Amino acid sequence: MRHWRNILLWGGLLLALVVANLGIRGHERTLSEGRVVLLELAPVDPRSLMQGDYMVLRFAVDEAVMHAMHPDINDARRLRQMGWDARRGCSAGRCGDGYLVVAPDRDGVGRFVRIQDTPQPIAKGEVAVQFRERRWSQIVIAGNSWFFPEGQAKRYESARYAELRVAADGTALIAGLRDEKRKPL
């Protein structure tokens, strides 16, 4: 009996390591081969974002996504502040996860085009980026935190754009932050 327990233990450990490494490999591929798209960060007071050694990110396209998902709602920000739960207030058949389609301008900054349920079809020059709608109408695109070394908060206060790397399936990862001139920080 002890022999089987050891086999199951080591087999489970090996399986967990294989799954974790496949996920890491997929993320590394997205970071190295994914299409670069810049998304403008929503204007917020950086001091309210800094908590220890990470910064909470919001994107300017969040409001456009909310309006596209819930066209009958005029002020998504006000509803979010009041605690409106999008999962109980879905409209036009849209709620939850989807794909934000952006068209990068000549500077590489993604401009909102539409939302859709799948990463395809997209027109030439467009990029589909997966998003998730969470409780209280929070839109999450490629995560919503940027972690940095302790003591480096001042360096990232001037961030105006997030550099995303987007895979063909819409998976997006934040590769870095950029300033108002779109230069890496």
Q: What is the DSSP track for 145-156?
A: EEE--TT-HHHH
Within its chain, how far is the Cα of 31 from the centroid? Answer: 14
Are 157 and 141 a contacting pair, CB within 8 Å?
Answer: no
Which domain range does residue 25 map to?
1-33
- Residues 49 and 74 placed together within one structural domain of the fold: yes
Task: Please give the model's pTM, rounded to 2 decimal places.
Answer: 0.72
Q: Are residues 156 and 69 in the same domain?
A: yes
18 and 73 together in one domain: no
> What are the tens digits of pLDDT across the range 6-45?
888 888 888 888 888 887 887 778 777 888 888 888 755 4
Give how many domains the chain has, as a whole number.
Answer: 2
Same domain for 101 and 71: yes
Burial class (CB in 10 A: 0-12, 13-18, 19+), 81: exposed
Which residues have a Cβ under 8 Å from the Cβ of 29 and sit 6 or more positions away? 167
User: Are 20 and 58 in a shared domain?
Assistant: no
Q: Which of 17-21, 68-72, 98-102, 140-144 has the lowest mean pLDDT?
A: 68-72
As given in the structure block, the two tokens for residue 146 are: 């940027």
In a domain, 47, yes or no: yes
Same domain? 26 vs 63? no
User: Does any domain span residue 184?
Assistant: no
